[in-house]
Homo-oligomer: A and B are copies of this chain.
């Protein structure tokens, strides 16, 4: 039953170099036959002579000469003179354009599956698709062209914009307001209660969470990610921000536009990020922080303080990324430092002390 060869996607059409040039707005060079049929997209290493490969980086440009690819997508900066190629301004934009033609997503059927449980006073835009076993509460609004895959749950009063994709099994609890062209992957939970318990008479008293989650346009949210509703007001994800899988975003967090947030990041309550921030996998941010624009936080860094525009952070607790690199390089030699210290002390006639027992709890 097990397939052992490497999987390759099947192209929905066999493109010609001429078509690739047309789709990408590029220029063909050194192509013998612009009408020859190609079979699909490949990597430089794996491409055979019937396939298209792409050269997105200078490093890749160095490998392009060895590729068997029948057509290369290159930019002026990564050109491969003498090879059959299409020269474009932006290699990745061209790759995306070609992929959308060769491997189009299945067309949504634009209908409401008969098993979907739809509440009263729900406004559905033109061409909305709602999959099997979805549950949509009262008073929801869903914009034109939006697709809800199977098993989505949308609580009463939520709003979803145009051309969104809730791919499958997405849950919107409480009040969730979603802009246009938002993609949410399976298992994501938006709008669960924030984690707010206050100690009253020695017990943890739950403080009701009645705010919203607001997702601006063009956001993408990964599988099994959780974004909690605000205590009051809102938790907000800025326009064009992309969030990977298994990320935790707590109540009242504000994330600016154009951020990239990798998998397993955690952002605690009320923390605010500016625009264009990059967070590596498993990075953690304490609560109530204020971070500027274009802040870069390395993978697994744990941030406990505020940082201005352009800060780059790494470590636990996080410090400046360059300082961290120096510390990380020195750290394995720490035991050696103790030996050298002892040698110096001996030479200086300082007697050995017993270990400082209080240092390690």
Q: Mark A169-194, 1 if CB is under 8 A from B, else 0.
A: 10101010101100101110100110
- Cα distance A167–B205 when bound, in Å? 19
The reply to whether A195 and B245 form a contact with Cβ atoms under 8 Å apart is: yes
This protein's copies in its complex: 3
- Cα distance A337–B178 when bound, in Å? 52
- The residues in A between 54 and 68 inclusive whose CB is less than 8 angstroms from any CB of B are 56
Q: How many residues of A contact B (CB 8 A)?
A: 142
A293 close to B (CB within 8 Å) = no
A24 close to B (CB within 8 Å) = no
The reply to whether B341 and A341 form a contact with Cβ atoms under 8 Å apart is: yes
Most buried by B among A248, A302, A321: A248
Residues of chain B lying within 8 A (CB to CB) of residue A281: 248, 266, 268, 284
A258 (CB) vs chain B CBs: closest residue? B204
Residues of chain B lying within 8 A (CB to CB) of residue A33: none
A14 vs chain B, min Cβ distance (A): 16
> For chain A, what secondary structure do more than half of its interface residues adopt (helix, strand, loop), or is it mixed?
loop
Cross-interface CB contact of A266 among B8, B208, B282, cutoff 8 Å: B282
Q: Mark A78-108, 1 if CB is under 8 A from B, else 0.
A: 0000000000001011011001100101100
Residues of chain B lying within 8 A (CB to CB) of residue A115: 115, 117
Q: Mark A156-174, 1 if CB is under 8 A from B, else 0.
A: 1001011000011101010
Residues in chain A within 8 A of chain B (CB atoms): 1-3, 6-9, 41-43, 46, 56, 90, 92-93, 95-96, 99-100, 103, 105-106, 113, 115, 117, 131-133, 135, 143, 149-151, 153, 156, 159, 161-162, 167-169, 171, 173, 175, 177, 179-180, 183, 185-187, 189, 192-193, 195, 197-198, 200-208, 210-212, 214, 216-217, 220, 222-224, 226, 228, 230, 232-234, 240, 242, 244-246, 248, 250, 258, 260, 262-264, 266, 268, 281-282, 284, 286, 299-300, 302, 304, 311-313, 315-317, 319-323, 326-338, 340-341, 343-345, 347-348, 350, 355-356, 358-361
